[in-house]
Structure 1
Amino acid sequence: MSDTTPRLEIRSIVRRFGGRAVVDDVSLSVMPGQVTCLLGPSGCGKSTTLRIIAGVDMQDSGEIYIDGKLVCDTVFRIPPEQRSVGLMFQDFALFPHLTVAGNVAFGLTGPRDQKRARVEEMLARVDMLRFIDDFPHNLSGGEQQRVALARALAPRPGIMLMDEPFSGLDNRLRDDIRDQTLSVLKEEGAAVLLVTHEPEEAMRMADEIALMRGGKIVQDGAPYNIYNAPVDKAAAAFFSDINVIQGRVQGLLTDTPFGQFMTPAIFETTEVDIIIRPQHVKIEFDRNGNPPAPTPENGVPARATVERARFMGGESLVEFRMDYDGSVMKATVPGVFLPKPDTPMWLMIRRDRCFVFPHQA
């Protein structure tokens, strides 16, 4: 196998239910040791894609390759148990009548002593060796998740498929389990496809993100690139709160509360949405009604009054009512910043952090 051959590759997968394409021409590839997150809202086709790859559902068209070899099209199909694919789901799916050791050994073959050694190795790796003779009902949710991970990796699968595996855990425990899981997966060198609807989880774990919507992959790439160069307004909004400034392009310029924006020629005479995230809105106090000086980076200041302010833990969220048109603008500030309602202030925005898209209703 070439170093450039994907461990997993799916080509133009389509799956229809009742005449509707739930998975619509989906293609992606995952290299050995790479974690790819299939990210999107509930009902967009993520889990169906995963089931097709696992072999528990059949596509209507398209092909699946593992290490460059065809494992499934609409005629030829290798059974799921022969695909060297590990599975992890949000319900853990441990066998209640088996001990922790029995669960981890379930998919292993070979002499008993070799299986036992592998079980102990994997349980030690997820810090669960001391529970080897316990039964699942004696374990916490986080401990059951660790056992499920050990069981999935024990047969040394080339591919690990994970469907919302951390959604049943509380937030504080979830971060610890995700970090430990990612470490073990990297050590094993499996190609990982993780399904999630949580952008923060995808950003935390993924080498690559495939953003899915309406059965299609609308954007894929490294987390940094997807976050900082979204393909459209919906993609930007999926990762964080956004402010939307609407305007109409006239002669390549768009009037906004923050002065005129140069907008690309492709948008001429059309309505546009200028997107800015709250963390890129700069706040200045209104000092005797005098605005701060415009800058090339932040443009023209716009006057606004505070609607409300809330402390969110690591930052404060402030909502403003714009004098220009009565619209609402949100800004986040590190630490504690809680100005009183109706306090006048000036806002400026990082123009290099704005995205311009055709207007979407």
Structure 2
Amino acid sequence: MPHTAPIPRLEIRNLTRSFEGNQVVKGVSLKVLPGQVTCLLGPSGCGKSTTLRMIAGVEMQDSGEIYVDGNLICDTVFRVPPERRSIGLMFQDFALFPHLSVAENVAFGLKGDKDSKRARVEELLNKVAMGRYIDSYPHELSGGEQQRVALARALAPKPRIMLMDEPFSGLDNRLRDDIRDETLAVLKDEDTAVLLVTHEPEEAMRMADEIALMRDGLIVQQGAPYNIYNNPVDKRAVAFFSDINVLRGTVKGALTETPFGQFLAPGVPDGAEVDIVIRPQHIRIDFDRGGRGPNPTPTDGTPARGIVERARFMGKESLVEFRMDYDGSILRANVPGVFLPKPGKPLWLMLRRDRCFVYPATV
């Protein structure tokens, strides 16, 4: 039998939206399968929340189509109203009704008789570990507890899709990780397709099955977190996930000469400049041996000497800044654990070749 691709729970095709002549969403397309978590990741103002609002139906697209389970729910002519889209919403503001109890908040959007509604409310509150607060009121709950109730309320009508806009940003860091993990477990259990908007790479890496990296109204790269992190599309994509070091070089015969040896730059014309990008954790440090460093290796290339400017312990790792002999530039290296060489100490740096990215130079 021929293998047929599963029908996406949510599919958007070429969504666009402009405000006062400024196009903020520029032809965004993506698919989310049942039980899958996709993160729209990008800096503030890149069009993530506007995309979410169009899917929810609270914002109307200028062009493009939205499908749920293969059925068109909205284009520029036909439009299913928001309340009939089977889409749940969770935002940064939990927006619980202060005058309603926890049970009444969760039951707010439910249809059916009193007993069936109560059973669904109890089931969900137990899932989010809030069963004992069923008769409490929002003002009696902490931020994390309110977040759990908001999740239960959003899930109560059994939406096929959950849209989440920075839902954890109001929580402190330690609590945030726990709530994120619990939320993910409940959503997976309900087989809900999730589209989560965030500007935090760590949150996207922690939660997503797939990341859609958004910039200036466009999705610039899409894929599994591992692939996005390890095969970034350009220098800005590398920099969005971590600190970076950049070496600039000029191409000659598809090669770029640097103090760390030659780098391949296939397809780049002679005389053009390239940026060689490496994350601080992929720089290897070795000791100075009377003015000499370690021998070059195929894995780490040629060593170059730098003088320690400063070193700081960051908790799990140490950050060491070097002023390089060859041009006076600063390179930063992260070292696991405690490594605090004194300022002025000469050390040799090597770049892990398999962790260097070469791109045409940009400003």
- Give percent identity, aligned residues only: 75
Correspondence for 1:249: 251
Question: Deviation digits for residues 183-207 of structure 1, max 9, x if unmatched?
Answer: 1011000000000000000000000
Correspondence for 1:221: 223
Partner amino acid, structure 1, of 2:22: R
* Counterpart among 140, 143, 154 of residue 141 in structure 1: 143
TM-score, with structure 1 as normaliser: 0.99
Question: Deviation digits for residues 200-227 of structure 1, max 9, x if unmatched?
Answer: 0000000000000000000000000000
My pick for the range that moved more, 136-145 or 259-268, is 259-268
1:156 and 1:267 map into 2 onto residues whose CA distance is 56
* Counterpart among 186, 194, 210 of residue 212 in structure 2: 210
Correspondence for 2:124: 122
Partner amino acid, structure 1, of 2:284: K
Correspondence for 1:37: 39
Correspondence for 1:70: 72
Superposed, which structure 2 residues align to 1:27-106 within 5 Å?
27-106=29-108
Question: Deviation digits for residues 219-252 of structure 1, max 9, x if unmatched?
Answer: 0000000000000000000000011000110111
1:21 and 1:168 map into 2 onto residues whose CA distance is 29
1:287 deviates by 1.9
Correspondence for 2:297: 295
Number of corresponding residues: 360
Q: Quick check: 2:87–2:159 contact (8 Å CA) kept in 1?
A: yes
1:3 deviates by 6.4
* Counterpart among 271, 276, 279 of residue 278 in structure 2: 276
Partner amino acid, structure 2, of 1:182: L
1:267 deviates by 4.4
2:60 and 2:304 map into 1 onto residues whose CA distance is 55
Partner secondary structure for residue 87 of structure 1: strand
1:76 and 1:290 map into 2 onto residues whose CA distance is 72
* Counterpart among 163, 166, 170 of residue 165 in structure 2: 163
Q: For the aligned residues, what is the CA RMSD?
A: 0.8
Partner amino acid, structure 2, of 1:333: V
My pick for the range that moved more, 280-289 or 159-168, is 280-289
Superposed, which structure 2 residues align to 1:223-242 within 5 Å?
223-242=225-244
Partner amino acid, structure 2, of 1:128: M
2:344 and 2:362 map into 1 onto residues whose CA distance is 31
Superposed, which structure 2 residues align to 1:280-359 within 5 Å?
280-359=282-361
Q: Quick check: 1:251–1:269 contact (8 Å CA) kept in 2?
A: no
Correspondence for 2:362: 360
Question: Deviation digits for residues 281-317 of structure 1, max 9, x if unmatched?
Answer: 0000112112101101001000000111111110111
Partner secondary structure for residue 123 of structure 2: helix
2:36 and 2:268 map into 1 onto residues whose CA distance is 37
Q: Would you identify which runs of 4 or more consecutive aligned residues in structure 1 move more than 6 Å?
A: none
Matched, 1:5 2:15: no
Q: Quick check: 1:209–1:223 contact (8 Å CA) kept in 2?
A: yes
Q: Quick check: 1:267–1:358 contact (8 Å CA) kept in 2?
A: no
Q: Quick check: 1:308–1:320 contact (8 Å CA) kept in 2?
A: yes
Partner amino acid, structure 2, of 1:300: T
2:270 and 2:154 map into 1 onto residues whose CA distance is 54
Correspondence for 2:263: 261
1:255 deviates by 1.4
1:310 and 1:111 map into 2 onto residues whose CA distance is 62
Q: Quick check: 2:268–2:360 contact (8 Å CA) kept in 1?
A: no
1:257 deviates by 1.7
Q: Quick check: 2:251–2:268 contact (8 Å CA) kept in 1?
A: no
Q: Residues 320 and 75 of structure 1: is their aligned pair in 2 closer, same or farther, counting only changes over 3 Å?
A: same
1:20 deviates by 1.1
1:269 and 1:181 map into 2 onto residues whose CA distance is 52
2:216 and 2:273 map into 1 onto residues whose CA distance is 25
* Counterpart among 13, 23, 26 of residue 24 in structure 1: 26
1:266 deviates by 2.9
2:31 and 2:155 map into 1 onto residues whose CA distance is 20
TM-score, with structure 2 as normaliser: 0.98
2:315 and 2:74 map into 1 onto residues whose CA distance is 49
Question: Deviation digits for residues 155-205 of structure 1, max 9, x if unmatched?
Answer: 110000000000000000000000000110110000000000000000000
Partner amino acid, structure 2, of 1:98: L
2:360 and 2:353 map into 1 onto residues whose CA distance is 17
